[in-house]
Amino acid sequence: MTSLEAHQTSPADLAAAIRGHWGVENSSHHIRDVTFAEDASTVHTGAAPRAMATFRNLAIGVLKTLGAENIAKTTRAIRDEPRRALPILGIINNQDTHGT
């Protein structure tokens, strides 16, 4: 469905817009399901499913903004070396042990 009048777009342009929308939707769902196992989640009550989806989308968005081309590979690297997440979260690991 569209609010456009027939003279405002061609069938080919409309089809391209639809394909573009579903390409983004399918890519996003694929990352959330395969990398974050969203469909296998056992979180089903209250606002928790929506919150978890928000956290997954936030993680994907942050990693893409920082230039990650392969979200699965990047999340595995962070899983294997959790300290890699510190700079992403804006936390600097200061090894200076002087003082407290």
The per-residue pLDDT for range 54-89, each reduced to its tens digit, is 999 999 999 999 999 999 999 999 999 999 989 888
- Is the Cβ–Cβ distance between 85 and 77 less than 8 Å? no
Q: Which domain holds residue 57?
A: 12-39+46-88
Rounded CA separation 4/15 (Å)? 13
Reading the block at residue 29, the tokens are: 């769902």
From the list 23, 1, 24, the residue with the least C-alpha distance to 14 is 1
* Mean pLDDT along residues 14-41: 80
State yes or no: pLDDT of 38 exceeds 70. yes
Burial class of residue 32, CB neighbours in 10 A (0-12, 13-18, 19+)? buried
Asked whether residue 96 is assigned to any structural domain, the reply reads: no
Asked whether residue 33 is assigned to any structural domain, the reply reads: yes
State yes or no: pLDDT of 98 exceeds 70. no
Asked whether residue 60 is assigned to any structural domain, the reply reads: yes
What mean pLDDT value characterizes the chain? 84
Rounded CA separation 4/27 (Å)? 26
Question: What pLDDT is recorded for position 100?
Answer: 47
